[in-house]
Amino acid sequence: MASATITAKGQITIPARVRSALGVDTGDRLEFVEIEKGQFLIIPATGSIQELKGMWRGRRKRPVSLEEMDRAIAKGAARGL
């Protein structure tokens, strides 16, 4: 099992074996996703913005009004999202 020590500044050095398995290198970003209280999933955030191109194409035929946005936000807030 790989391990790391936290410095006084809250920084760690990710072991080479873990960096290799994640496919990350110097300057790459990582995301920490809480999967349950106290447990996190570490995901490389190395994708290009170009990968998002066309992802939502054709999903919405008309612009969304401010009122529709407000309703969606209120609905999400009511569900605790």
Mean pLDDT of the chain: 86
**Domain coordinates of the chain in residue numbers?**
1-50
pTM for the model stands at: 0.53
Contact of 22 with 32, CB cutoff 8 Å: no
* Cα–Cα distance, 52 to 56 (Å, whole number): 8
Contact of 1 with 15, CB cutoff 8 Å: no
Class of domain 1-50: mainly beta
60 pLDDT band (50/70/90 cuts)? Answer: low
pLDDT digit string (tens) for 20-57? 999 999 988 999 988 889 999 998 887 777 777 776 66
Residue 69 C-alpha from the chain's centroid: 23
Going by the DSSP 8-state scheme, the letter that residue 43 receives in this structure is E
